[in-house]
Amino acid sequence: MLLRPIWPEDWQALFAGIADEGVVRNLARAPWPYREADAREFAAMPADPLHPRFLITRAADAAAIGCIGIGQPGDAGSSHPGECELGYWIAREHWGQGYATEAGAAVLEIAATLGHEVLTAAHFLDNPASGRVLRKLGFEPTGRVEPRWSCGRGAEVDAVQYRRLLGQEAIASQRAA
């Protein structure tokens, strides 16, 4: 697996993986139906060095597998000011192969290197596979289930909330325990 920045010319690879209702229904911000224009717009978004987004590819042939990134505070419905949010999606044909966990572990290291101390994440209740990925990555459930808007579903959906300490926050927490 290889993570790399998303370039405008990646829009077709993004579209091929995400233009699947089974993928989009698990995301908060992606609309359904997902159109080519949506993929072009996403791929053309400017890079933010403190909140990077990556295309997940296979190292052997550079085939696109999905996307992962660290959202800016307040992105995707986060109600925790100053915290960043981990978000990702994997194309259906790559589900269950460990790519989300591998990419997530790499992005956690990047987030810590960038100085982020707390990451949040969430998954819709009807997507327990994402919860398993988050727990493998060391995210802990907060005990909260909150409604979250899903553009793809056009409705609010209950989402399980998670939190992961990084950097000095994690060290302080370990010392206190």
Each residue's pLDDT tens digit, 97-123: 999 999 999 999 999 999 999 999 999
pLDDT tens per residue, range 48-59: 999 999 999 998
Residue 177 has pLDDT above 80, yes or no: no
User: Looking at residue 29, what is its pLDDT?
Assistant: 92
pLDDT at position 77 is 46
Lowest-confidence region among 51-60, 78-87, 139-148: 78-87
Mean pLDDT of 126-143: 97
pLDDT of residue 171: 56
The reported pLDDT for the residue numbered 76 is: 46
Residue 23 has what pLDDT? 97
For domain 2-176, say whether CATH 3.40.630.30 is its number.
yes
- The whole-chain average pLDDT of the chain stands at 91
List, in sequence order, every residue forming a beta bridge with 146; answer none if it has no partner.
159
Q: Are 130 and 123 within 8 A, CB to CB? A: yes
**pLDDT at residue 78, rounded to an integer:** 45
Domain regions of the chain by residue span: 2-176
168 — pLDDT class (breaks 50, 70, 90):
low
Assign 3-state DSSP to the chain and report helix, strand, coil percentages, each to 5.
35, 30, 35
DSSP strand E in the chain: where? 2-5, 53-57, 64-71, 84-90, 118-124, 140-150, 155-165
Nearest to 51 by CA among 77, 70, 73: 70
Per-residue model confidence (pLDDT) at position 73? 58
Position 80 pLDDT exceeds 80? no
